[in-house]
Amino acid sequence: MGNMTLEKVCKSFGTVDVIRDVDLQVEDGEFCVFVGPSGCGKSTLLRMIAGLEDITSGDVLIDGEVVNTVPPSKREIAMVFQSYALYPHLNVRDNMGLGLKQARHPRAEVAAAVDRAAKMLDLEKYLNRRPAELSGGQRQRVAIGRAIVRKPKLFLFDEPLSNLDAALRVQTRIEIANLHRELGATMIYVTHDQVEAMTLADRIVVLRDGRIEQIGAPMELYNNPANEFVAGFIGSPKMNFLDAPTLGQPGRSLGIRPEHLTLSREEGQIEGRISHVEQLGGETLIYLRADPHGLITVRLFGEHGAVVDERAFVTPDLTRAFHFGTDGQRLAA
Amino acid sequence: MSARANILRSSAAHAILIAYTILALYPVFLIVINSMKSRRAIFNEPLALPTRETFDLVGFHTVLEQGNFLLYFQNSLIVTLASLFLVLLFGAMAAFALAEYRFRGNLLMGLYLALGIMIPIRLGTVAILEIMVAANLVNTLTSLVLVYTAQGLPLAVFILAEFMRQVSDDLKNAARIDGLSEYRIFFTIALPLVRPALATVAVFTMIPIWNDLWFPLILAPSDATKTLTLGSQIFLGQYVTNWNAVLAALTLAIFPVVVLYLIFSRQLIRGITRGAVK
Ligand SMILES: Nc1ncnc2c1ncn2[C@@H]1O[C@H](COP(=O)(O)OP(=O)(O)OP(=O)(O)O)[C@@H](O)[C@H]1O
Ligand SMILES: [Mg+2]
For position A209, what pLDDT does the model report?
A: 94
Hey, is the C-beta of B174 within 8 angstroms of any chain A C-beta? yes
Quote the CA–CA distance of A172 and A141 in Å, as a whole number.
8
pLDDT of residue B262: 87
pLDDT tens string A137-161: 899 999 999 999 999 999 999 999 9
Mean pLDDT of B246-250: 87
Query: Is residue A333, in this structure, part of any structural domain at all?
Result: no
Percent of chain A with pLDDT over 90: 82
User: Is residue B276 very low, low, confident or very high in pLDDT (cuts 50, 70, 90)?
Assistant: very low
- Higher pLDDT: B64 or B82? It is B82
Q: Taking CB atoms and an 8 Å cutoff, what residues of chain A touch B188? A: 87, 89
Residues 138-157 of B with CB under 8 A from A: none
The finding on whether A43 has its CB within 6 A of some atom of ligand 1 is yes
Structural domains in chain A (count):
2
pLDDT given at position B110: 92
CATH at residue A276: 2.40.50.140
Q: Encode pLDDT of B115-164 as tens digits.
A: 888 899 999 999 999 999 999 999 999 999 999 999 999 999 999 999 99
Last residue of a domain, one of A230, A246, A266: A230
Q: Identify the pLDDT of residue B157.
A: 95
What mean pLDDT is predicted for residues A273-296?
92
State the pLDDT at residue B246.
Answer: 87
**Which CATH number do you get for residue A28?**
3.40.50.300
Confidence of residue A333 (pLDDT cuts 50, 70, 90): low
| pLDDT confidence tier of residue B242, bands split at 50, 70 and 90 | confident
What's the complex ipTM?
Answer: 0.87
Are B171 and A78 within 8 A, CB to CB? no
pLDDT band at B278 (very low <50, low <70, confident <90, very high): very low
| Pairwise CA distance, residues A92 & A140, whole Å | 11
A40 lines ligand 1 (CB under 6 A): yes
Using pLDDT thresholds of 50, 70 and 90, give the confidence band for residue B275: very low
Q: What local confidence, expressed as pLDDT, does residue B1 receive? A: 54
Q: Which atom of ligand 1 is nearest to the CA of A13?
A: 4
Note whether A287 and A201 are same-domain residues. no
* Residue B223 three-state SS: helix
Looking at residue B67, what is its pLDDT?
A: 65
A71 touching chain B per CB within 8 A: yes
CA distance B113 to B96: 13
Binning pLDDT at 50, 70 and 90, where does residue B272 land?
Answer: low
Q: What is the mean pLDDT of chain B?
A: 88
Q: Which residues pair with A158 in a beta bridge?
A: A190
Tell if the CB–CB gap between B179 and A73 is shorter than 8 Å: yes
Q: Which of A178, A174, A176 is nearest to A189 (CA)?
A: A176
**Which domains are seen in chain B, by residue range?**
1-56 (no CATH), 59-277 (1.10.3720.10)
Residue A66 has pLDDT above 70, yes or no: yes
Query: Is residue A155 domain-shared with residue A303, that is, in the same domain?
Result: no
A218 and A318 both lie in a single domain? no
Per residue in B16-54, pLDDT (tens digit) is: 999 999 999 999 999 999 988 888 888 888 888 888 888
User: Which 3-state string (H, E, C) describes chain A?
Assistant: CCCEEEEEEEEEECCEEEEEEEEEEECCCCEEEEECCCCCCHHHHHHHHHCCCCCCEEEEEECCEECCCCCHHHCCEEEECCCCCCCCCCCHHHHHHHHHHHCCCCHHHHHHHHHHHHHHCCCHHHCCCCHHHCCHHHHHHHHHHHHHHCCCCEEEEECCCCCCCHHHHHHHHHHHHHHHHHHCCEEEEECCCHHHHHHHCCEEEEEECCEEEEEECHHHHHHCCCEHHHHHHCCCCCCEEEECHHHCCCCCEEEECHHHEEEECCCCCEEEEEEEEEECCCEEEEEEEECCCEEEEEEEECCCCCCCCCEEEEEECHHHCEEECCCCEECCC
**A290 beta partners:** A294
CA separation for the pair A256, A61 (Å, rounded): 39
Residue in chain B nearest A83 by alpha carbon? B170
CB-based contact B218:B192 (threshold 8 Å) = no
**pLDDT recorded at residue B269:** 67
Task: Establish whether residue A39 lines the binding site of ligand 1, counting it when its CB lies within 6 angstroms of any ligand atom.
Answer: yes
Nearest-Cα residue of chain A relative to residue B172: A85
Q: How far is the centre of ligand 2, averaged over its atoms, from the C-alpha of A7 (Å)? A: 21
| Whether residue A295 is found in the same domain as residue A259 | yes
A212, A230, A248 - which closes a domain: A230
On the question of pLDDT at B3 being above 70, the answer is yes
pLDDT, tens digit, 9 for 90 and up, residues A303-326: 888 888 999 999 999 999 999 999
User: Which of the listed residues A230, A262, A277 is the one where a domain comes to its end?
Assistant: A230
CA distance B79 to B151: 13
Looking at the domain assignment, is residue A331 inside a domain?
no
Which of A13, A48, A192 to mutate to test ligand 1, by most ligand atoms within 8 A of the CB atom? A13
Nearest CA to ligand 1 atom 4: A13
Q: Is the CB of A207 under 6 A from ligand 1?
A: no
Q: Do A150 and A297 lie in a common domain?
A: no
Q: How many CB pairs under 8 A join A and B?
A: 59
Residue A243 structural domain: 238-324
Q: Are residues A198 and A245 in the same domain?
A: no
Residue nearest to atom 16 of ligand 1 (CA): A41
